Structure 1
Amino acid sequence: MSESEDTAVDTPLVTPELLANIGRQDQPRREVVTRRDIKKYAISTGTTIPRYLSGDEAPPMFHVPLFWDVVGMDELSADGVSIDKLLPKFPLEKAMAGGLDITYHKPILPGDWLTATRTLTDIYEKRGRSGPLIFYEVVMEVRDDAGELVVTEKTTRILR
């Protein structure tokens, strides 16, 4: 079987209506970075690097919980994940991690005001061993108040 046959899907689940959501952005979110939050994150993740433990610089992945929604239990999906209002309703609902690509453009420091903007950048379909799969990609750009790019994060999720 050729690669194109392997990824072909008999009855497409990704419709033009779903594809019309590509390019959709959520509202920018602005957060301040504090020395205390950096220290708490460093301790909770078990780092031993002094500049992180002192709160002088944020460790890798610090930006992720900084921009997570804080929601009530009634706003979680059946598998305990916050319902992402950026995403359209997909015909498949069981989510799996598909990949995370993070580029750090500059350090995150205490006192930084950061703004994150998330964009749905792609939706596509493939056939897996157990049937059709839908992939979607969301890119988050984090910028400082000078407009400089601090972090770029591309998340890929797989729905089955």
Structure 2
Amino acid sequence: MSVLTPEVLSAIGRQSQPQREIVTRRDIRKYSVATGNRQRKYLDGDQAPPMFHVPLFWDVVELDQLTPDGVSIDSLLPKFPLEKAMAGGLNIEYHKPVRPGDWLTATRTLTDIYEKEGRSGALIFYEVVMDIVNDDQELVIREKTTRILR
């Protein structure tokens, strides 16, 4: 018997509001130092290092908007019947370099929800794709996150 209801599955295809952020040389430099990216192009702030987009598009929320695990509540997701979350994978494709002065827009889409049977019972998998484009609507980064709920 499936734990996924038609109501939960109807959330597939749900999209976030676009979020637009500017890339600054200072933010690139700060991120490079904090993460140990020591290549000159990063330390000088001429190009953003890998993973720079992650904190750029993180939501800044109040403490009461965090789950007990310290993760922000994601309004893109439906209410799942299972709640213990685990990382299931992350795939990031870089299509263009990120440079200071770039305005980037991220849109997240819930692309899939499916169920598998684990050793201890049902597992729910869900996938969210975040596309980041520049002002010319060129794809800069595509990030696919998979989470597992048990």
TM-score, normalised with respect to structure 2 = 0.99
Distance 1:143 1:29 in 2: 10
* 1:157 maps onto 2:147 in alignment: yes
2:40 matched residue in structure 1: 50
How far residue 48 of structure 1 moved from its aligned partner, in angstroms, is 1.2
For residues 26-45 of structure 1, the C-alpha deviation after alignment (integer angstroms, 9 at most, x for no partner) is 10000000000000000000
Distance 1:126 1:12 in 2: 9
Distance 2:4 2:146 in 1: 16
Distance 1:74 1:17 in 2: 26
Distance 2:126 2:80 in 1: 10
- The alignment's C-alpha RMSD in Å is 0.5
For residues 36-90 of structure 1, the C-alpha deviation after alignment (integer angstroms, 9 at most, x for no partner) is 0000000000111110111000000000110000001000001110000100000
1:147 matched residue in structure 2: 137
State how many pairs are aligned: 150
Distance 1:47 1:122 in 2: 34
* 1:104 maps onto 2:91 in alignment: no
How far residue 133 of structure 1 moved from its aligned partner, in angstroms, is 0.3
2:61 matched residue in structure 1: 71
1:124 matched residue in structure 2: 114
1:133 matched residue in structure 2: 123
Could you list the runs of 4 or more consecutive aligned residues of structure 1 that deviate by over 3 angstroms after TM superposition? none
Unaligned regions of 5+ residues in structure 2, if any?
A: none
Q: Is the radius of gyration larger for structure 1 or structure 2?
A: 1
Unaligned regions of 5+ residues in structure 1, if any?
A: 1-10
